[in-house]
Structure 1
């Protein structure tokens, strides 16, 4: 058995006990996929990031939910960057990169304490409003688009917040990892709000989903005619994002707060 440094971080939070919890485990070499999945299942967090240091401020990263490996996870990337910048791995630079299966992800720490990550934009196409989608959401969206998730537009933030999904029905949907529900923020505090449902990866409703904004940011940037956007994820814990549409990438900036640290023995 070996011990590894471990951190639990709340990412994209609005205050105490908000944002999305992520595990961050610092490895010195890759374990098998089975071992990494077993560790993530034991931790029982929405996602756990496993990182290994490399050269020139570049780290290798993989993400796991409790049931499967994830292709891209924004909040766990933000959490990993926070741990590297603030804890035992701090260096003079305020920039670093993560090498993932999907490519290179850049991160930067700002003077106000926020951390910025760049994620690849995910293109959208018109989707189909199926009976299962309507039944699963319990409401009719005003429009549906497809990328790696379903994106469902609602006509008011009140309707969005009142959704009570039927998760077994949503689980039956094909063609997307999860379902993004979004609306303009009627209060005017944010440009848009969203919720994210992903029972297929073991998360009925996620707290603050960076990867969903790979679709949301270009969608709302085009719809509102703005490059810079301020967004809220209207989950029970709540999440907050400063966003920018950079064409091929989206910039997401937010706060990360350490909740606990220790060692993981496996």
Structure 2
């Protein structure tokens, strides 16, 4: 039997929404080249590879072009697979050993909560070309390890913007997280979109790592610790965010399996 790979839509409870990730619970260790080739073949924003380690699983994430140090939606998808395919019992915690340290996932009824490192942003002076590439006026611009964090004036601007990705790729920092408060009658606290041509992804549908930046950003401005957030890509996705200060952010989402398949070969 070949290697099983599962495709999961994360940060949604509806198939064909949220952010799709492929999850591969490895039968045996594989080379970096093989994992990158599989990620390219899957051609999703992220493919996650897990292998049993001590009291948890080693976890790595690959886009079609590069390995990344942290990915929220593929971690959520991985936890979903571990429970739904009986790698873990329903009441067991999912513990992941990653390049971003130990990450924990817990089941909470129909939601999965992730324990992630916070990512603070610093105010910066952005190049004039940033606003031109985004096609909007930047209300404020910050920078963090993920890229630029840009606040704009309204939810409509976030939803309707159509960046010039060729121009974004030419900037010194080409990944941009755009956010705003929602309209007063919305069920959500804030909206966002994440453009990541630097990672080989023009727009990521729903980005857990981005909410590690958004949590302290909006906590400072709104004076509250819990948020319901919406990432307004064409697929869309919902993230519960909890941040009380310190160095950890708690992100909760839902997930649904849409596809299971078999990799016929483990060769390079």
Which category describes the TM-score, using the shorter chain as reference length? over 0.9
CA distance in 1: counterparts of 2:211 and 2:37, whole angstroms = 28
Please name the residue that 1:257 is paired with. 256
2:179 to 155, 177, 182: 182
Residue 17 of structure 1 and its aligned partner are, at CA, apart by 1.6
Residues 121-142 of structure 1 deviation map (CA, whole Å, 9 limit, x = unaligned)? 0121112221221111011110
- Is 1:59 the counterpart of 2:57? The answer is yes
CA distance in 1: counterparts of 2:90 and 2:176, whole angstroms = 40
Aligned residues: 262
8 Å contact kept, 2:19–2:205: yes
Please name the residue that 1:17 is paired with. 16
Structure 1 unaligned blocks of 5 or more: none
Give the 5 Å matches for 1:1-266.
Answer: 3-13=2-12, 15-56=14-55, 58-111=56-109, 113-148=110-145, 149-175=147-173, 178-186=175-183, 187-246=185-244, 247-265=246-264, 266=266
Report the aligned-residue RMSD: 1.4
Residue 202 of structure 1 and its aligned partner are, at CA, apart by 1.4
CA distance in 2: counterparts of 1:227 and 1:118, whole angstroms = 15
Q: After the TM superposition, list the runs of 4 or more consecutive aligned residues in structure 1 that deviate by more than 6 angstroms.
A: none
8 Å contact kept, 2:13–2:256: no
8 Å contact kept, 1:3–1:263: yes
Residue 254 of structure 1 and its aligned partner are, at CA, apart by 0.8
Structure 2 unaligned blocks of 5 or more: none
Residue 5 of structure 1 and its aligned partner are, at CA, apart by 1.7
Partner secondary structure for residue 57 of structure 2:
strand
Q: Which has the higher mean CA deviation after the structures are superposed, 120-129 or 69-78?
A: 120-129
Residues 172-210 of structure 1 deviation map (CA, whole Å, 9 limit, x = unaligned)? 12246x100000011431100000000111111110000
8 Å contact kept, 2:88–2:94: no
CA distance in 1: counterparts of 2:62 and 2:167, whole angstroms = 24
Residue 3 of structure 1 and its aligned partner are, at CA, apart by 2.1
Residue 16 of structure 1 and its aligned partner are, at CA, apart by 3.1
